[in-house]
Amino acid sequence: MILDILKKSKLSVTDGRKKILELFLSSEGALAHADIEKYTGETFDRVTVYRTLQTFVEKGIIHHIPTTDNSILYALCKDNCEEGHHHDNHVHFICDVCSKTICLEDVTVPQVKLPKGFVPKHAEMVVSGVCDDCK
Amino acid sequence: MILDILKKSKLSVTDGRKKILELFLSSEGALAHADIEKYTGETFDRVTVYRTLQTFVEKGIIHHIPTTDNSILYALCKDNCEEGHHHDNHVHFICDVCSKTICLEDVTVPQVKLPKGFVPKHAEMVVSGVCDDCK
DNA sequence: GTAACTGCAAAATATTTGCATCCTT
DNA sequence: AAGGATGCAAATATTTTGCAGTTAC
Protein backbone atom coordinates (compact mmCIF):
# COMPACT_ATOMS: atom_id res chain seq x y z
CA MET A 1 0.00 0.00 0.00
CA ILE A 2 2.61 2.49 1.10
CA LEU A 3 4.99 1.29 -1.57
CA ASP A 4 2.28 1.50 -4.20
CA ILE A 5 1.61 5.11 -3.41
CA LEU A 6 5.24 6.11 -3.61
CA LYS A 7 5.91 4.13 -6.75
CA LYS A 8 2.86 5.50 -8.46
CA SER A 9 4.26 8.96 -7.88
CA LYS A 10 7.74 7.94 -8.97
CA LEU A 11 9.26 8.80 -5.64
CA SER A 12 12.16 6.96 -4.06
CA VAL A 13 11.13 4.77 -1.18
CA THR A 14 12.85 6.15 1.88
CA ASP A 15 12.35 5.61 5.58
CA GLY A 16 11.10 9.12 6.16
CA ARG A 17 8.47 8.94 3.48
CA LYS A 18 7.33 5.54 4.60
CA LYS A 19 6.99 6.69 8.19
CA ILE A 20 5.01 9.78 7.32
CA LEU A 21 2.73 7.92 4.92
CA GLU A 22 2.19 5.29 7.58
CA LEU A 23 0.93 7.98 9.92
CA PHE A 24 -1.47 9.38 7.37
CA LEU A 25 -2.83 5.95 6.55
CA SER A 26 -3.40 5.08 10.19
CA SER A 27 -5.07 8.32 11.20
CA GLU A 28 -8.65 8.98 10.32
CA GLY A 29 -8.40 12.74 10.29
CA ALA A 30 -6.18 15.50 9.15
CA LEU A 31 -2.76 16.19 10.55
CA ALA A 32 -0.98 19.37 11.45
CA HIS A 33 2.72 19.74 10.84
CA ALA A 34 3.23 19.51 14.58
CA ASP A 35 1.43 16.15 14.74
CA ILE A 36 3.71 14.77 12.14
CA GLU A 37 6.82 16.01 13.85
CA LYS A 38 5.65 14.59 17.13
CA TYR A 39 5.16 11.22 15.49
CA THR A 40 8.44 11.08 13.65
CA GLY A 41 10.13 12.35 16.77
CA GLU A 42 13.91 12.47 16.70
CA THR A 43 14.05 10.03 13.86
CA PHE A 44 14.04 12.66 11.15
CA ASP A 45 15.09 16.18 10.76
CA ARG A 46 12.47 18.88 10.95
CA VAL A 47 13.54 20.01 7.51
CA THR A 48 12.91 16.59 6.06
CA VAL A 49 9.34 16.76 7.28
CA TYR A 50 8.85 20.07 5.53
CA ARG A 51 10.32 18.76 2.32
CA THR A 52 8.44 15.49 2.45
CA LEU A 53 5.09 17.17 2.98
CA GLN A 54 5.84 19.58 0.19
CA THR A 55 6.71 16.74 -2.14
CA PHE A 56 3.57 14.84 -1.21
CA VAL A 57 1.42 17.86 -1.92
CA GLU A 58 3.06 18.36 -5.29
CA LYS A 59 2.56 14.72 -6.19
CA GLY A 60 -1.06 14.78 -5.13
CA ILE A 61 -0.62 12.32 -2.30
CA ILE A 62 -1.84 14.72 0.35
CA HIS A 63 -3.60 18.07 0.23
CA HIS A 64 -4.06 21.12 2.39
CA ILE A 65 -7.27 21.55 4.31
CA PRO A 66 -8.49 25.07 4.91
CA THR A 67 -8.86 26.06 8.53
CA THR A 68 -10.36 29.09 10.17
CA ASP A 69 -7.68 29.38 12.77
CA ASN A 70 -4.34 29.93 11.20
CA SER A 71 -3.04 26.40 11.24
CA ILE A 72 -2.14 24.24 8.28
CA LEU A 73 -3.62 20.80 8.03
CA TYR A 74 -2.84 17.98 5.65
CA ALA A 75 -4.91 15.01 4.68
CA LEU A 76 -4.51 12.07 2.33
CA CYS A 77 -5.93 12.49 -1.11
CA LYS A 78 -8.18 9.82 -2.47
CA ASP A 79 -7.41 7.83 -5.59
CA ASN A 80 -8.93 10.35 -7.90
CA CYS A 81 -6.37 12.92 -6.93
CA GLU A 82 -3.86 13.31 -9.66
CA GLU A 83 -0.71 15.29 -9.77
CA GLY A 84 -1.63 18.95 -9.76
CA HIS A 85 -5.33 18.21 -9.58
CA HIS A 86 -6.96 17.65 -6.27
CA HIS A 87 -10.45 16.27 -6.45
CA ASP A 88 -10.95 15.68 -2.79
CA ASN A 89 -14.44 16.99 -2.87
CA HIS A 90 -15.61 15.94 0.50
CA VAL A 91 -16.47 18.05 3.50
CA HIS A 92 -14.06 18.38 6.41
CA PHE A 93 -15.25 18.51 9.97
CA ILE A 94 -13.36 20.16 12.79
CA CYS A 95 -14.43 19.21 16.29
CA ASP A 96 -14.47 22.12 18.72
CA VAL A 97 -13.99 19.79 21.64
CA CYS A 98 -11.19 17.43 20.65
CA SER A 99 -10.07 19.74 17.83
CA LYS A 100 -9.52 16.82 15.51
CA THR A 101 -10.22 17.29 11.84
CA ILE A 102 -12.11 14.48 10.18
CA CYS A 103 -12.63 13.84 6.50
CA LEU A 104 -16.28 13.15 5.86
CA GLU A 105 -15.72 11.00 2.81
CA ASP A 106 -19.41 10.48 2.23
CA VAL A 107 -20.41 14.11 2.36
CA THR A 108 -19.63 15.81 -0.90
CA VAL A 109 -19.22 19.54 -1.22
CA PRO A 110 -22.44 20.93 -2.69
CA GLN A 111 -22.43 23.07 -5.80
CA VAL A 112 -23.28 26.71 -5.33
CA LYS A 113 -24.52 29.20 -7.85
CA LEU A 114 -22.00 31.98 -8.27
CA PRO A 115 -22.59 35.54 -9.47
CA LYS A 116 -22.21 36.20 -13.17
CA GLY A 117 -18.66 36.06 -14.43
CA PHE A 118 -17.24 33.80 -11.76
CA VAL A 119 -15.92 30.47 -12.98
CA PRO A 120 -15.49 27.86 -10.26
CA LYS A 121 -12.67 25.34 -10.43
CA HIS A 122 -12.53 23.95 -6.96
CA ALA A 123 -14.53 24.16 -3.77
CA GLU A 124 -13.66 23.46 -0.16
CA MET A 125 -16.04 23.23 2.74
CA VAL A 126 -15.24 23.04 6.41
CA VAL A 127 -17.85 22.46 9.07
CA SER A 128 -17.06 22.84 12.73
CA GLY A 129 -18.99 21.66 15.73
CA VAL A 130 -19.01 18.59 17.93
CA CYS A 131 -18.00 15.23 16.55
CA ASP A 132 -19.50 11.83 17.17
CA ASP A 133 -16.95 10.88 19.81
CA CYS A 134 -17.29 14.07 21.84
CA LYS A 135 -21.01 14.59 21.88
CA MET B 1 -19.00 54.65 9.88
CA ILE B 2 -15.54 53.85 11.13
CA LEU B 3 -16.25 55.54 14.42
CA ASP B 4 -19.54 53.68 14.75
CA ILE B 5 -17.85 50.35 14.42
CA LEU B 6 -15.23 51.12 17.02
CA LYS B 7 -17.67 52.63 19.45
CA LYS B 8 -20.07 49.77 19.10
CA SER B 9 -17.27 47.47 20.18
CA LYS B 10 -16.21 49.81 22.99
CA LEU B 11 -12.77 50.29 21.59
CA SER B 12 -10.79 53.50 21.82
CA VAL B 13 -10.58 55.40 18.59
CA THR B 14 -6.94 55.49 17.60
CA ASP B 15 -5.15 56.33 14.39
CA GLY B 16 -4.01 52.79 13.84
CA ARG B 17 -7.44 51.31 14.19
CA LYS B 18 -8.98 53.94 11.98
CA LYS B 19 -6.42 53.35 9.28
CA ILE B 20 -6.83 49.60 9.28
CA LEU B 21 -10.62 49.78 9.31
CA GLU B 22 -10.47 52.28 6.49
CA LEU B 23 -8.57 49.73 4.43
CA PHE B 24 -11.08 46.99 5.12
CA LEU B 25 -13.99 49.24 4.26
CA SER B 26 -12.45 50.34 1.00
CA SER B 27 -11.40 46.92 -0.22
CA GLU B 28 -13.92 44.57 -1.65
CA GLY B 29 -12.11 41.40 -0.78
CA ALA B 30 -10.21 39.80 1.99
CA LEU B 31 -6.84 40.96 3.18
CA ALA B 32 -3.72 39.16 4.20
CA HIS B 33 -1.61 40.39 7.03
CA ALA B 34 0.97 41.44 4.47
CA ASP B 35 -1.56 43.60 2.60
CA ILE B 36 -2.40 45.43 5.76
CA GLU B 37 1.21 46.03 6.65
CA LYS B 38 1.92 47.28 3.17
CA TYR B 39 -0.93 49.74 3.46
CA THR B 40 -0.09 51.05 6.87
CA GLY B 41 3.52 51.23 5.80
CA GLU B 42 5.92 52.82 8.22
CA THR B 43 3.10 54.57 10.00
CA PHE B 44 2.58 51.85 12.54
CA ASP B 45 4.57 49.17 14.15
CA ARG B 46 4.25 45.62 12.89
CA VAL B 47 3.26 44.58 16.37
CA THR B 48 0.41 47.06 16.44
CA VAL B 49 -0.99 45.48 13.31
CA TYR B 50 -0.93 42.07 14.93
CA ARG B 51 -2.61 43.35 18.04
CA THR B 52 -5.19 45.38 16.18
CA LEU B 53 -6.21 42.46 14.01
CA GLN B 54 -6.42 40.24 17.03
CA THR B 55 -8.62 42.74 18.83
CA PHE B 56 -10.86 43.11 15.80
CA VAL B 57 -11.31 39.37 15.56
CA GLU B 58 -12.18 39.13 19.25
CA LYS B 59 -14.70 41.93 18.94
CA GLY B 60 -16.28 40.40 15.89
CA ILE B 61 -15.33 43.23 13.56
CA ILE B 62 -13.35 41.00 11.23
CA HIS B 63 -13.03 37.26 10.85
CA HIS B 64 -10.57 34.75 9.49
CA ILE B 65 -11.20 33.22 6.11
CA PRO B 66 -10.01 29.68 5.54
CA THR B 67 -7.55 29.27 2.71
CA THR B 68 -6.09 26.24 1.05
CA ASP B 69 -2.64 27.64 0.80
CA ASN B 70 -1.27 28.37 4.20
CA SER B 71 -2.00 32.05 4.37
CA ILE B 72 -4.26 33.87 6.77
CA LEU B 73 -6.89 36.16 5.40
CA TYR B 74 -9.16 38.57 7.18
CA ALA B 75 -12.44 40.07 6.08
CA LEU B 76 -14.98 42.42 7.57
CA CYS B 77 -17.86 40.83 9.39
CA LYS B 78 -21.35 41.90 8.57
CA ASP B 79 -23.70 43.40 11.10
CA ASN B 80 -24.96 40.14 12.37
CA CYS B 81 -21.55 39.20 13.69
CA GLU B 82 -21.47 39.53 17.43
CA GLU B 83 -18.61 39.25 19.80
CA GLY B 84 -17.45 35.66 19.84
CA HIS B 85 -20.03 34.61 17.29
CA HIS B 86 -19.28 34.95 13.65
CA HIS B 87 -22.24 34.50 11.41
CA ASP B 88 -20.58 35.41 8.19
CA ASN B 89 -22.24 32.65 6.31
CA HIS B 90 -21.35 33.62 2.82
CA VAL B 91 -19.08 31.90 0.37
CA HIS B 92 -15.59 33.19 -0.30
CA PHE B 93 -14.06 33.14 -3.73
CA ILE B 94 -10.35 33.03 -4.43
CA CYS B 95 -9.27 33.97 -7.93
CA ASP B 96 -6.47 31.82 -9.30
CA VAL B 97 -5.39 34.59 -11.64
CA CYS B 98 -5.26 37.75 -9.55
CA SER B 99 -5.28 35.75 -6.30
CA LYS B 100 -7.71 38.15 -4.71
CA THR B 101 -10.22 36.81 -2.26
CA ILE B 102 -13.73 38.12 -2.63
CA CYS B 103 -16.64 37.82 -0.26
CA LEU B 104 -19.69 36.68 -2.16
CA GLU B 105 -22.19 38.30 0.15
CA ASP B 106 -25.15 36.98 -1.79
CA VAL B 107 -24.08 33.38 -1.87
CA THR B 108 -24.84 31.68 1.39
CA VAL B 109 -23.11 28.53 2.51
CA PRO B 110 -25.46 25.63 1.86
CA GLN B 111 -26.45 23.23 4.62
CA VAL B 112 -25.05 19.74 4.37
CA LYS B 113 -26.31 16.58 5.92
CA LEU B 114 -23.69 15.18 8.28
CA PRO B 115 -23.24 11.60 9.43
CA LYS B 116 -25.00 10.53 12.61
CA GLY B 117 -23.55 12.04 15.75
CA PHE B 118 -22.01 15.12 14.22
CA VAL B 119 -23.41 18.41 15.42
CA PRO B 120 -22.62 21.36 13.17
CA LYS B 121 -22.06 24.81 14.63
CA HIS B 122 -20.44 26.70 11.82
CA ALA B 123 -19.63 26.17 8.18
CA GLU B 124 -17.16 27.80 5.85
CA MET B 125 -16.95 27.43 2.12
CA VAL B 126 -14.22 28.58 -0.22
CA VAL B 127 -14.50 28.36 -3.97
CA SER B 128 -11.53 29.01 -6.20
CA GLY B 129 -11.42 29.67 -9.91
CA VAL B 130 -11.45 32.74 -12.13
CA CYS B 131 -13.18 35.91 -11.03
CA ASP B 132 -15.28 38.29 -13.05
CA ASP B 133 -12.44 40.72 -13.63
CA CYS B 134 -9.94 38.15 -14.84
CA LYS B 135 -12.07 36.01 -17.11
C1' DG C 1 -6.22 60.69 36.22
C1' DT C 2 -6.71 56.12 34.69
C1' DA C 3 -7.11 52.58 31.67
C1' DA C 4 -6.16 51.43 27.28
C1' DC C 5 -3.05 51.55 23.29
C1' DT C 6 1.46 51.80 21.09
C1' DG C 7 6.46 51.38 20.09
C1' DC C 8 10.64 49.24 20.82
C1' DA C 9 13.50 45.48 21.94
C1' DA C 10 13.91 40.88 22.28
C1' DA C 11 12.42 36.18 22.69
C1' DA C 12 10.21 32.33 20.76
C1' DT C 13 8.52 29.93 16.53
C1' DA C 14 8.20 28.68 12.07
C1' DT C 15 10.00 28.19 7.40
C1' DT C 16 13.50 28.22 3.75
C1' DT C 17 18.05 27.55 1.59
C1' DG C 18 22.85 25.87 0.55
C1' DC C 19 25.85 22.42 0.64
C1' DA C 20 28.13 18.17 1.77
C1' DT C 21 26.99 13.38 2.54
C1' DC C 22 24.33 9.30 2.20
C1' DC C 23 20.91 6.26 0.15
C1' DT C 24 17.83 4.44 -3.58
C1' DT C 25 17.51 2.77 -8.02
C1' DA D 1 27.50 5.31 -10.90
C1' DA D 2 23.98 9.04 -10.88
C1' DG D 3 20.33 11.38 -9.21
C1' DG D 4 17.61 12.08 -5.59
C1' DA D 5 16.96 12.50 -0.47
C1' DT D 6 18.65 13.80 3.97
C1' DG D 7 21.09 16.22 7.83
C1' DC D 8 23.15 20.08 9.53
C1' DA D 9 23.97 24.88 9.90
C1' DA D 10 22.39 29.13 9.11
C1' DA D 11 19.59 32.64 7.00
C1' DT D 12 14.74 34.42 6.84
C1' DA D 13 10.32 35.17 8.18
C1' DT D 14 6.59 35.17 11.42
C1' DT D 15 4.42 35.76 15.77
C1' DT D 16 4.48 36.66 20.74
C1' DT D 17 5.76 38.99 25.06
C1' DG D 18 7.35 42.53 28.49
C1' DC D 19 7.75 46.94 29.67
C1' DA D 20 7.97 51.86 29.45
C1' DG D 21 6.02 55.80 27.37
C1' DT D 22 1.92 57.94 25.18
C1' DT D 23 -2.87 58.76 24.13
C1' DA D 24 -7.98 58.49 24.43
C1' DC D 25 -11.77 59.30 27.28
3-state secondary structure chain A: CHHHHHHHCCCCCCHHHHHHHHHHHHCCECEEHHHHHHHHHHHCCHHHHHHHHHHHHHHCCEEEECCCCCCCEEEECCCCCECCECCCCEEEEEECCCCCEEEEEEEECCCCCCCCCCEEEEEEEEEEEECCCCC
Residues in contact with B57: Cβ distance below 8 Å, sequence separation at least 6, in sequence order: B63, B64, B74
- Whose CB is within 7 A of strand D? A 11-12, 14-17, 43-45, 47-48, 51-52, 55, 70; B 12-15, 33-34, 46-47, 50-51, 54, 72
pTM: 0.80
Cα-Cα-Cα-Cα dihedral sign, residues B6, B33, B82, B127: positive
Query: Taking a C-beta distance cutoff of 8 angstroms, is the pair B125, A108 a contact?
Result: no
What's residue B48's pLDDT? Answer: 96
Q: What's residue A87's pLDDT?
A: 52
Best residue in A127, A134, A135 for a mutation probing chain B (most B CBs within 10 Å): A127
Structure-model confidence comparison of residues B50 and B124, the more confident one: B50
**CA–CA separation, B117 vs B134, rounded Å?**
42
Average pLDDT value for chain A: 85
Q: CA-to-C1' distance for B70 and C5, Å?
A: 30
Strand order in the sheet with B73-76: B31-32, B73-76, B62-65
pLDDT of B82 higher than 70: no
A15: left (phi over 0), alpha (psi -120 to 50) or beta: alpha
Task: With a cut of 90, say whether residue B104 has pLDDT above it.
Answer: no
CB distance from B134 to chain A under 8 Å? no
- How far apart, in whole angstroms, are the C-alpha atoms of residue B42 and residue B53? 17
- Identify residue A129 by its one-letter amino acid code: G
Q: Please tell me the predicted confidence (pLDDT) of residue B47.
A: 96
List chain B domain ranges: 2-129
Q: Which residue has the higher pLDDT, A103 or A31?
A: A31
Closest residue in A to B89 (Cα–Cα): A127
A128 has pLDDT over 90? no
Residues 109-128 of A with CB under 8 A from B: 109-110, 112-128
Summarised one tens digit per residue, pLDDT across range B52-78 is 999 999 999 998 887 777 678 898 877
Of B56, B73, B60, B55, give the one whose Cα is nearest residue B126: B73
CB atoms within 10 A of CB B130: 17
CA of A70 to C1' of C25 (A): 40
Q: What is the pLDDT of residue A84?
A: 47
CA distance, residue A57 to nearest chain B CA (Å): 11
Mean pLDDT taken over chain B: 86
What does the alpha-carbon distance between residue B24 and residue A26 come to, in Å, rounded to a whole number? 43
Stronger pLDDT, B79 or A119, i.e. the higher one: A119
Would the pLDDT of B36 be above 80?
Answer: yes
Residue A39 C-beta-side C-alpha neighbours within 13 Å: 18
Count of CB atoms situated within 10 Å of the CB of B56: 23
Cβ A123–B119 below 8 Å, yes or no?
no
Q: pLDDT > 90: what percent of chain B?
A: 46
B2-129: which CATH number, 1.10.10.10, 3.30.300.20, 3.40.50.2000, 3.40.50.720?
1.10.10.10
User: What per-residue confidence (pLDDT) applies to A36?
Assistant: 93
- A56-60, A61-65, B92-96: range with highest mean pLDDT: A56-60
